[in-house]
Amino acid sequence: MNILIIGDSFATKYNGAYLGWAEMLEQKHTVTNLAQAGVSEYKILKQLQSITIKDFDCVIVSHTYFDLDYANYVYNLIHKEITSLLTDARVIDTDQLDLKKLFSTDRGEVQHLSEQANITFYNRLGKHIQ
């Protein structure tokens, strides 16, 4: 069987005192192992996009565990880039109008808010749109 392995350190090859499961598979199958230690889900996606899936009989995916520090870091980088691209524009930032607070206290089915919360937020926006 021709097997593709993508993912994080749980699927990488190790030169340890014993064989890992990925090396054990190599003893009986043709294995292409693209897994890397320390990667994010994005990098796992890129691993997958780098090959032709139909060339393999089976794909084993070792998803990474969510890393909150990494997610916050990437979020802040992207947020900063958005802000830099808008330096010459008039911007109303929903964070400044407490949209997240409304979401946490008054959730609903339309734009994640209740009807009353949508009206409240609309009125807040109205004060900034003249």
What is the distance between the alpha carbons of residues 34 and 26, in angstroms, rounded to a whole number?
A: 13
Alpha helix positions (H), 3-114: 21-26, 41-49, 68-85, 99-105
Contact (CB, 8 A) for 8 and 63: yes
Q: What is the pLDDT of residue 72?
A: 92
Q: What is the pLDDT of residue 91?
A: 87
Q: Is-contact 56 2, C-beta < 8 A?
A: yes
The residues with which 4 forms a beta bridge, in sequence order, are: 32, 59
Question: Which pLDDT score, from 0 to 100, does residue 71 have?
Answer: 87
Judged by DSSP in three states, 75 sits in helix
This prediction's pTM: 0.61
Digit-by-digit pLDDT tens for the chain (130 residues) are 999 999 999 999 888 888 899 999 999 999 999 999 988 888 999 999 999 999 999 999 999 888 889 889 999 999 999 889 888 888 888 888 898 998 999 898 888 889 999 899 999 998 988 7
What integer pLDDT is reported at residue 62 of this predicted model? Answer: 94
Find out whether 5 and 31 touch, Cβ atoms under 8 Å. Answer: yes
Q: Are 35 and 18 in contact (CB under 8 A)?
A: no
pLDDT at 116: 92
The span from the CA of 58 to the CA of 54, in Å, is: 9
CA–CA gap between residue 103 and residue 111 (Å, rounded) = 9
